[in-house]
């Protein structure tokens, strides 16, 4: 024990009396690095994320969701002996990420921001997780995202059912939501093409099997399968189908998202407020997030919901991926 530690009081631990239930004065975590003072020393909390509890087991402390609490777990209660360490981005002139902050504006030089992001990804081989909405397909950004996956710049893809459905629709039938990808015109009976796409995947039982069949030969999902890039499709109440690969149990979908996000060095959110905020809630503040959307309100909301490390780029998603 160091002399400096004598002035600190130890954390208060209370036992969980039931599964999924804790004492009412539990400590609720932020996404910032957290230390707890236990057995006369500071211990870093593992698995940092917001809206979790801290469970101490032996010489380890870790974040755990309320639903995962088991009877007998020792829970940190109150804020005595808890220290939050706010990590800040390196602002050195030669740091490619020195541009990153919470400031959001449509007047910034987005091409410079994109260049800095690309430079850091490619030079330092950072692991990139893409969190995408269907606007990626509708704006033509799917072509460029497919190329990034094929060139091994993407380590995982997190999305909803719609991204995969419209990507497959576009690469099977040439439409996105029934609109011709080449002319931009509504096609005759095109409104049913997304259901035709789902029907084709249902025939083969999975997206992977559809690719293996030779029916699907291009697109985002094709490149994921071909290059063994993990993808997670989280379902929602509005989904058509859904596709066999779509996880309809929300707890299972959260766990699958979290598993991939834990491996990420950078997270890029493309046109999806719902999945972007969900991903931000699972990440520690030290992991940079870039949120791209044509609507400034969307890119600011991610920061407003607690993801202080998020940077907003207000632009068309398809244009962003093209750059």
Domain span(s) for CATH 3.40.50.10690 in the chain: 110-322
- For residue 161, the model assigns a pLDDT of 98
Residue with tokens 């084709």: 200
pTM value is 0.87
Domain span(s) for CATH 2.40.420.10 in the chain: 3-85
Round to whole Å and give the CA distance between 241 and 152.
30
pLDDT in tens, 12-71: 999 999 999 999 999 999 999 999 999 999 999 999 999 999 999 999 999 999 999 999
Is residue 76 within 8 A of residue 27, CB to CB? The reply is yes
Two tokens, residue 122: 């490619």
User: In the CATH scheme, what is the code of domain 110-322?
Assistant: 3.40.50.10690
Full pLDDT tens readout for the chain, 323 residues: 454 555 789 999 999 999 999 999 999 999 999 999 999 999 999 999 999 999 999 999 999 999 999 999 999 999 999 999 987 544 444 444 444 444 555 555 666 777 777 777 777 778 999 999 999 999 999 999 999 999 999 999 999 999 999 999 999 999 999 999 999 999 999 999 999 999 999 999 999 999 999 999 999 999 999 999 999 999 999 999 999 999 999 999 999 999 999 999 999 999 999 999 999 999 998 998 999 999 888 877 777 776 777 788 888 899 888 87
Q: CA 184 → CA 130, 133, 175, 200, distances in Å?
A: 26, 20, 9, 24
Collapsing DSSP states into helix, strand and coil, what is residue 60? strand
Exposure string for 273-286, b = 16+ CB within 10 A, e = fewer: bebbbbbbbbbbbe
DSSP label at residue 311: E
Q: CA 77 → CA 53, 244, 245, 318, distances in Å?
A: 9, 42, 40, 47
- For residue 301, the model assigns a pLDDT of 79
Exposure string for 132-153, b = 16+ CB within 10 A, e = fewer: bbbbbbbbbbbbbbbebbeeeb
Round to whole Å and give the CA distance between 310 and 201.
35
As its CATH architecture, domain 3-85 has Beta Barrel (2.40)
Largest CA distance in the chain: 78
pLDDT in tens, 245-266: 999 999 999 999 999 999 999 9
The residue count for the chain: 323
């Amino acid at each position: 024990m160091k002399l400096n530690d004598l002035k600190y009081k130890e954390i208060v631990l209370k036992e969980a009396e039931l599964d999924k239930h804790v004492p009412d004065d539990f400590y609720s975590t932020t996404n910032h690095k957290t230390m707890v003072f236990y057995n006369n020393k500071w211990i870093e909390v593992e698995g940092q994320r917001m809206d979790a509890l801290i469970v101490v087991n032996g010489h380890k402390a870790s974040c755990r969701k309320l639903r995962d609490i088991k009877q007998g777990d020792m829970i940190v209660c109150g804020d005595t002996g808890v220290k939050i360490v706010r990590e800040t981005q390196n602002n050195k002139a030669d740091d490619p990420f020195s541009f990153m902050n919470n400031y959001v504006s449509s007047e910034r030089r987005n091409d410079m921001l994109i260049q800095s992001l690309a430079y850091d990804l490619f030079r330092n081989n950072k692991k990139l997780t893409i969190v995408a909405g269907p606007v990626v397909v509708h704006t033509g950004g799917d072509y460029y995202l497919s190329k990034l996956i094929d060139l091994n710049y993407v380590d995982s893809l997190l999305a909803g059912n719609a991204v995969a459905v419209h990507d497959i629709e576009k690469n099977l039938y040439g439409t996105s939501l029934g609109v011709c990808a080449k002319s931009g015109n509504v096609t005759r009976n095109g409104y049913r093409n997304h259901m035709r796409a789902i029907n084709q995947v249902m025939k083969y039982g999975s997206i992977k099997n559809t690719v293996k069949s030779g029916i699907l030969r291009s697109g985002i999902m094709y490149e994921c399968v071909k290059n063994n890039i993990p993808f997670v499709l989280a379902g929602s109440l509005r989904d058509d189908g859904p596709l066999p690969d779509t996880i309809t149990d929300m707890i299972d979908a959260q766990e699958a998202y979290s598993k991939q996000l834990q491996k990420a060095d950078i997270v890029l959110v493309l046109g999806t407020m719902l999945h972007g905020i969900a991903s931000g809630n699972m990440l520690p503040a030290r992991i940079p997030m870039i949120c791209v959307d044509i609507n400034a309100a969307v890119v600011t909301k991610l920061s407003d919901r607690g993801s202080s490390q998020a940077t907003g780029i207000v632009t068309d998603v398809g244009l962003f991926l093209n750059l």
